[in-house]
């Protein structure tokens, strides 16, 4: 099985965002608890190692063809797996990206997702050459909305999303931002300054 990274890891102060590897399947399956899954449309819990392995292979295919960036988030202090962040094109060749994330419950509420997502968003705008990014969450997912607002995203509407893990439609609220708004948000000093580059972030 090929465990080579498809892109160089990105370090933030406390986290490392790296390419998901087939060898991660067991730990990804283990940390995907019902408490996280209930907020996600397509990550079931319990999750088998086989299901995680299949998901990782699909993620790597999407990275390879430029359809998405998937990041396995590690705790830099001890290399523990913290979670997963994805920015995927809404459609093939689309300039609109969909942001999603989850974090191992042991690390919640310490600012890790905000920190890691900022790096992921910068990388995605650059490497996927996106014009805008959006993210949606169930109407009562206050933590997710707080993360999106921290990134500079603004409320843009609501729509129904099919949640395959629960086999039902769910109403979700969406936030979005254009690339220009994100750059301006950074420039205004609301978030840490990191250079955003279209070809390589
Ligand atoms: C959403 C999630 C990734 C947030 O991760 P996190 O690392 O705890 O978030 P942060 O610590 O960066 O916090 C960001 C903001 O959310 C707020 N927040 C975090 N957890 C919260 C909670 N349980 N209740 C209320 N606010 C919360 C923080 O106070 C912070 O707000 P602030 O910037 O106004 O201070 C995490 O709760 C999670 O994995 N949830 C399950 C999966 C999920 O919901 N994914 C998103 C689906 S679209």
Q: Is residue 156 assigned to a domain?
A: yes
Q: Which atom of ligand 1 is nearest to the CA of 144?
A: 1
Question: So what's the pLDDT on residue 43?
Answer: 98
Question: So what's the pLDDT on residue 201?
Answer: 40
Q: Is residue 114 assigned to a domain?
A: yes
Q: Is residue 1 assigned to a domain?
A: no
Name the residue of 75, 102, 146 to mutate for ligand 1: max ligand atoms within 8 A of Cβ: 146
C-alpha 147 – ligand 1 centre gap (Å): 6
* Number of domains observed in the structure of the chain: 1
Helix (H, G, I), strand (E, B) or coil at 55: helix
pTM: 0.94
Structure tokens at 149: 């607002």
User: Alpha-carbon distance 47 to 90, whole Å?
Assistant: 25
- Provide the residue-wise pLDDT of the chain in tens; the chain has 201 residues: 788 999 999 999 999 999 999 999 999 999 999 999 999 999 999 999 999 999 999 999 999 999 999 999 999 999 999 999 999 999 988 899 999 999 999 999 999 999 999 999 999 999 999 999 999 999 999 999 999 999 999 999 999 999 999 999 999 999 999 999 999 988 887 765 554 444 444
Question: So what's the pLDDT on residue 23?
Answer: 97
- For the stretch 83-87, contacts whose Cβ atoms lie closer than 8 Å and that sit 24 or more positions apart, written own/partner, are 83/31, 83/107, 83/112, 83/113, 83/116, 84/20, 84/28, 85/17, 85/113, 85/116, 85/117, 85/120, 86/59, 87/120, 87/121, 87/123, 87/124, 87/128, 87/130, 87/133
User: Alpha-carbon distance 14 to 109, whole Å?
Assistant: 14
Q: Which domain holds residue 123?
A: 10-187
- 83: alpha, beta or left, given left = phi > 0 and alpha = psi -120 to 50? left
Q: Is residue 192 assigned to a domain?
A: no
C-alpha 192 – ligand 1 centre gap (Å): 19
What CATH number does residue 113 fall under? 3.40.630.30
Of the candidates 147, 93, 155, the one whose C-alpha atom is nearest the C-alpha of residue 120 is 147
Ligand 1 binding site (Cβ under 6 Å of any ligand atom): 36, 39-40, 100-103, 108-114, 137, 141-144, 146-147, 150
Q: Is residue 194 assigned to a domain?
A: no
C-alpha 3 – ligand 1 centre gap (Å): 30
Question: So what's the pLDDT on residue 199?
Answer: 42
C-alpha 157 – ligand 1 centre gap (Å): 20
């Amino acid at each position: 099985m090929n465990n080579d990274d498809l892109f160089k890891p990105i370090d933030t102060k406390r986290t490392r965002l790296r390419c998901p590897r087939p060898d991660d399947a067991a730990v990804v399956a283990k940390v995907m608890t019902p408490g996280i899954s209930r907020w996600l449309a397509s990550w079931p819990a319990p999750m088998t190692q086989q299901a995680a392995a299949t998901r990782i292979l699909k993620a790597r295919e999407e990275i390879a063809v430029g359809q998405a960036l998937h990041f396995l988030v590690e705790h830099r202090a001890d290399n523990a797996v913290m979670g997963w962040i994805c920015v995927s094109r809404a459609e093939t060749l689309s300039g609109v990206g969909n942001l999603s994330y989850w974090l191992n419950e042991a690390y919640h509420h310490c600012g890790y997702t905000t920190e890691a997502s900022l790096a992921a968003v910068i990388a995605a705008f650059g490497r996927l050459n996106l014009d805008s990014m959006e993210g949606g969450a169930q109407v009562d997912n206050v933590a997710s909305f707080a993360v999106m607002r921290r990134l500079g995203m603004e409320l843009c509407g609501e729509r129904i999303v099919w949640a395959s893990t629960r086999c039902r439609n769910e109403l979700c609220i969406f936030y979005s931002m254009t690339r220009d708004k994100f750059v301006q948000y950074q420039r205004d000093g609301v978030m840490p300054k990191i250079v955003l580059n279209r070809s390589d972030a």
